[in-house]
Chains A and B, each alone.
Chain A
Amino acid sequence: GAVVSQHPSWVICKSGTSVKIECRSLDFQATTMFWYRQFPKQSLMLMATSNEGSKATYEQGVEKDKFLINHASLTLSTLTVTSAHPEDSSFYICSARRYPGTVSTDTQYFGPGTRLTVL
């Protein structure tokens, strides 16, 4: 299989604090990981693409200084929400693209998500 884990699964924090979310591919290497957020009853919105060893690419409208992404290894990417505010409360989901990325195996496998609540 292709298993992706996220930690923590949920977190509650006070406004103004920073929160780090980890995304790990457990049984495969991932040169590329993606971070999404999902609001209730809505679909997934891509926030950024994270490539191992290089800077993340952010989607239009996503503040890179607020959502810090580090892809430290082929199996780990982290998303840090800095100075979190209530409007940052959401469901954050990561995915990992299986390497090598041939056409037949170019599939994104998703983690279970992290529910962030900012008070």
Chain B
Amino acid sequence: EDQVTQSPEALRLQEGESSSLNCSYTVSGLRGLFWYRQDPGKGPEFLFTLYSAGEEKEKERLKATLTKKESFLHITAPKPEDSATYLCAVQILTGGGNKLTFGTGTQLKVEL
């Protein structure tokens, strides 16, 4: 069975304190790994898609990387506005019907 595990469940950082969020996955065949940001009471906002091991993508203070077993979302010098829940999701190659399987998310709080 396809599984997606995110860690830590919650993370509290001081402004400017860089860190990484982890998403480990076990799937039959990965088509793509997606990162989303979700603010309370809102729908997820798309951040990145990664398709193959070794791939990296960056957007402002965020950088996503992918290996054959896991993905990391690196946050460099975070600001309070980066506070949100970060979700990763996987899409499998065959039989998945393009659907996404989500992890439980990492709740990030950045304090002044």
**With a CB–CB cut-off of 8 A, which chain B residues contact A103?**
31-32, 51
**B43 at interface, CB cutoff 8 A:** yes
Residue-wise, chain B 87-107 has the 8 Å CB interface mask toward A (1 for contact) of 100010000011111111100
A32, A95, A107, A108: residue with the most chain B Cβ atoms closer than 10 Å: A108
- A43 contact from B46, B97, B103, Cβ within 8 A: B103
**A97 at interface, CB cutoff 8 A:** yes
Residue-wise, chain A 31-49 has the 8 Å CB interface mask toward B (1 for contact) of 0101000000011101001
Residue-wise, chain A 43-66 has the 8 Å CB interface mask toward B (1 for contact) of 110100100000001000000000
A109 and chain B: residue at smallest CB distance = B46
A107–B34 contact, CB under 8 A? yes
- A112 contact from B32, B36, B43, B98, Cβ within 8 A: B43
**With a CB–CB cut-off of 8 A, which chain B residues contact A43?**
87, 102-105
Interface size class of B (residues with CB under 8 A): 20 to 34
**B44 at interface, CB cutoff 8 A:** yes
**With a CB–CB cut-off of 8 A, which chain A residues contact B34?**
107-108
18 of the cross-chain contacts (CB-CB < 8 Å) are: A4-B43, A43-B103, A43-B105, A46-B99, A46-B100, A49-B99, A93-B43, A93-B44, A95-B43, A101-B98, A103-B31, A106-B98, A107-B34, A110-B44, A111-B43, A112-B42, A113-B41, A115-B41
Interface residues of B (CB under 8 A from A): 31-32, 34, 36, 41-46, 49, 51, 87, 91, 97-105
Interface residues of A (CB under 8 A from B): 2, 4, 6, 32, 34, 42-44, 46, 49, 57, 91, 93, 95, 97, 101, 103, 106-113, 115
